[in-house]
Amino acid sequence: MPCEGDKPKGHTGPRKRRPKTKKKHEDIPSVAMAVPSPQKSTRTTKKADAAPATPETPKRTAGLCAKADSFSPTTLNTMSPDRTIEAATRAYWTQWAIDAAEQERTRRLHQLADIQREEDMERARRQAWAREAIEMEQHSRTSRLFLEAMQNTAWFQATISPSILNYEVVCPHSWFGCTFSCMLRHIEEHLVDCPYRQVPDTPTVEDMDLHSYDVVCCITICSRDTIGAHLSVCGIRSAETELAERMQSQLSVIAASETERRRRMNEATAMSSEVHKLHDAQTKDLQARLHAEVSAFGAAHHTSAQLRRPGVLRVLEVVARIVQTAWPQAAVEPYGSFATHLNLPSSDVDLVVGPFHSVRTDSLGDVQQLGDLLAAHSSSSCSDVTFTSIQILAHAAIPLLKVVAAVGGADLSVALDVTFWSPSHQGLASAALGLELCQGIPGLKEVTLVLKYYLAKRGMNDVYRGGLSSYGLLLMVAHVCLQKASRHPTPTKSAAVDEDDGAVALSDSQRAKGVRVAAALMAHVKAEAAAPCLGKLLMEVLHYYGNNFQPEVDVVTVGTSFRCVVHCLFSGLTWWVTASDDLRRGAAATLCVLDPLDGTNNVGRHCYRISHILRSFQDVSNSLTSLIVRLRRGKDVGGGSLLDRMFNL
């Protein structure tokens, strides 16, 4: 490739005038000038020999830059200090000029971009204006063409005509036979002489008596003065009378249906036919099989509870020792299902701290303090009992502490529900009552255990989730047992307990109260205390609450003198309540179970899932009844457990 200054042979190129060097530049030596090397000089000489020397136009680059040859050590050493300062100053201002030029270039580019954006916006605005103008012009042309096409038509002339009365009409009496037709402005003249007009031709105005007129009733027309006598013998009933008769009829039907339901529930049907005898025999076989399984279930539960009981008592001992460090006069008493021996392996152990002779005003603070003590014990002590999952339910009716205790040696975990005693706390009394009922009523404990396990498998035994409590379930089963033992239980009253007696502790007085109430409830069943068939009792409980019990109407009472008769008529919107209004206020869809210890306490007021519970009882009852039918038809019901079939429904 030829060098930059080489020219073809025979042509030297255009002659250019050599630029004159100014005198003032001669005195300023170039800082960037370097000492030429021998090789460069030799190359220049060769180029000069090849072609005549012609001035060359320097190439210009698009960018702004300062191009200079690098300094050589020889040049730096030969320059004076003044020239060095001058060269540095010149380099500084050269760089400043380059930066200023770049900034100006950037500013102009931004300005050009803004101008381009404004031009685009203006172009779009003008295009939109042009489209609108074209559309307006098209609309104007269309309107003008329409007017030109329609201005000579009859419709258009009639539309813009100033006379709106110039059209033909027929006589208004044409319905009666008049065939006259004329323009609208002449119709008044015709109406004066129309032979079919209905206006009476009376020149004088007669006075009308507004108090004497005829009244139409049914098919009789009588005067206003005689309408009263006619209404007394009229066969058409008034709306008020008909409504009253309908309401009375509805009340009669509801009362009759309620009477029939009660009769069917309480009647003792005599099964004399062979079919009934066969059904009775098959039912007894199924009940006997179910009795054996319920008894085995109760025995297995008793064994499991006895194995867990030492570990639970160890936990109670540790909790009592921790409580007495803060409240030396207090004790820790168990109640609920653990005290009545109705607890399942998954059941919580209910504890009450107290009782105290003085009323505790800050129960929530006491619960929080106890939670801190249990947490401190778990973190600092080396005891075999540790407490985890400490939760405080501050919004409960009574502040509650939920904690899980783990026993290291026995590999056992116990869930605790701890509350503090208050005058309204009936835990110890209800535990004593439940324990006495389980001991005095045969089959109550076993049937309650089976039903509690059934509800626990379905998550329907948690009161805080709308389930049924163990105490409420026990009272419901006891209600059926006492109803079966005696149709007319002896009215009893809750024994008053003198809690001011200093010789008797408050805990003992509450237990004594529960024992007294239980003894009064079972006074009429002690004489006929016989071991019942547990299968029959279980089926009766399931049938009663699954098919006959209505939570909107029926109330569960366990032989108390507190009489509650609730009769609900949804069609008439009428309620008769001969008990405390607080028991049924807002409880149309919940369960009403009266507490024998306190007649104003509804144990089932929080059981808003009672409809699901009763429906599940109905399913189990229907399943057992279908097994009886299969046995009567000679079919095998299988060798599996009936309780397993019931639990897995």
Residue 116 pLDDT class (50, 70, 90 cuts): very high
Kind and range of the H or E element at 483?
Answer: helix 470-485
Report the amino acid identity of residue 197.
R
Is a pLDDT exceeding 90 seen at residue 41?
no
**Of 355 and 555, the one with more pLDDT:** 555
What 3-state class would DSSP assign to 101? helix
Mean pLDDT of 55-84: 56
| 115: confidence class by pLDDT, cuts 50, 70, 90 | very high
Q: State how far the alpha carbon of 329 is from the alpha carbons of 20, 21, 505, in Å.
A: 121, 119, 12
Average pLDDT over residues 552-556: 86
Can you list the positions of beta strands (E) in 479-520? none
Given a cut of 90, whether residue 132 has pLDDT beyond it is yes
Contact 575, 568 (CB under 8 A): yes
> What letters, b where the CB count within 10 A reaches 16 and e where it falls short, cover 493-520?
ebeebeeeeeeeebbebbbbbbbbbbeb
**pTM of the predicted model as reported, rounded to 2 decimal places:** 0.54
399: left (phi over 0), alpha (psi -120 to 50) or beta: beta
Report how far residue 35's alpha carbon sits from residue 449's, in angstroms, rounded to the nearest whole number: 114
Distance separating the N- and C-terminal Cα atoms of the chain: 100
Confidence of residue 88 (pLDDT cuts 50, 70, 90): very high
* Phi, psi at 442, each rounded to 5°: -65, 135
Q: What is the CA radius of gyration of the chain?
A: 55
Choose between 216 and 293: higher pLDDT: 293
Cα angle vertex 172, ends 168, 176, to 5°? Answer: 130
If pLDDT is split at 50, 70 and 90, which confidence band does 497 have?
very low
Return the pLDDT at 509: 80
pLDDT of residue 256: 92
What tens digit of pLDDT does each residue of 380-434 get? 766 778 888 888 887 777 788 888 888 876 578 888 888 888 877 888 888 888 8
pLDDT digits (tens, 9 = 90+) for 329-368: 888 888 888 888 888 888 888 888 876 665 666 677 888 8
Residue 57 has pLDDT above 60, yes or no: no
Which pLDDT belongs to residue 553?
84
Contact 571, 588 (CB under 8 A): no
Averaged pLDDT score across all residues of the chain? 76
Is pLDDT above 50 for 490?
no
The pLDDT of residue 106 is above 90 = yes
Residue 114 confidence (pLDDT): 96
At 573 the pLDDT is 32
Strands (E), 322-371: 331-335, 349-354
Question: Over the stretch 276-310, which tens digit does the pLDDT of each residue have?
Answer: 777 778 888 888 889 999 999 989 988 888 888 88
Which amino acid is located at 124 in the chain? A
Q: Is the pLDDT of residue 155 over 50?
A: yes
Task: Report the share of the chain in percent with pLDDT over 90.
Answer: 18
What would the two tokens of residue 510 be? 């509450």
Residue type, 164: I
Residue type, position 493, single letter:
K
What is the DSSP secondary-structure string of 436-447? HHHHHSTTHHHH
* Residue 648 confidence class, pLDDT cut points 50, 70, 90: confident
More confident residue, 47 or 249: 249
The fraction of the chain above a pLDDT of 70, given in percent, is: 70
What's the burial of 77, exposed, middle or buried (CB within 10 Å: 0-12/13-18/19+)? exposed
Question: Is pLDDT at 72 greater than 60 in this prediction?
Answer: no
Q: Flag whether pLDDT at 149 surpasses 50.
A: yes
> Per residue in 599-636, pLDDT tens?
888 888 888 899 999 999 999 999 888 887 776 554 55
- Mean pLDDT computed over 47-76: 46
pLDDT tens track for 230-254 = 888 887 777 788 888 889 999 999 9
Closest-CA residue to 532 (of 541, 520, 543): 541
Place of tokens 């009340």: 251
Q: How far is CA 178 from CA 41, 169, 175, 186, 190, in A?
A: 136, 12, 7, 15, 11
> Does the N-terminal peptide bond of residue 73 adopt cis geometry, omega within 30 degrees of 0?
no
